[in-house]
Amino acid sequence: MTAKEFIIERLDLIIEYFPNLKCIYEYDEMSKVHLIKVLPQGEFDLNKKYSEFESEIVFDFICRYNDSNILFFTEDDVSISIKNPVYQVVGKKFESELISSYSFENFNKTILVMDAGENNYAMAA
């Protein structure tokens, strides 16, 4: 199994166990680093079970592929970015949480506009 196949397999497992996450993967050939961006940042920073699972993946990767490096990061690290992703996987709960949150916010704004009375015409412009 290649390092890329290993990582893709593990990213699928991450999403299976943590369906509220999104993972984006890129391999930087020049530095021989496998970059994995994990979203949302709150889960990356605060979810201990995820952190333990990630640590196991890193350890396993290092044991198998000692000629490459692996780096998990999240959106707060502005010095690292993914420019050419080779794989992306999104958990079912990651998408649905974004959609329901967005829809609910718009619903509340609609109610506020309707309550604005004579000023609601300004919102249409």
Query: Can you give the pTM of this predicted structure?
Result: 0.72
Q: How far apart are CA 55 and CA 77, in angstroms?
A: 19
pLDDT over threshold 90, residue 114: no
The predicted-structure confidence for 46-96, as pLDDT tens digits, reads as follows 999 999 999 999 999 999 999 999 999 998 667 788 999 999 999 998 864
Return the pLDDT at 101.
47
DSSP, residue by residue, 1-45: --HHHHHHHHHHHHHHH-TT-EEEEEEETTTTEEEEEEE-HHHHH
Return the pLDDT at 95.
61
Question: In what order do the strands lie in the sheet containing 69-73?
Answer: 69-73, 33-39, 22-28, 87-90
Dihedral class, residue 80 (left if φ above 0, else alpha if ψ from -120 to 50, else beta) = beta
The ranges assigned to domains in the chain are 3-90, 92-125
Mean pLDDT of 9-35: 95
DSSP, residue by residue, 48-72: HHHHHHHHHHHHHHHHH-TTSEEEE
The CATH-assigned architecture of domain 3-90 is 2-Layer Sandwich (3.30)
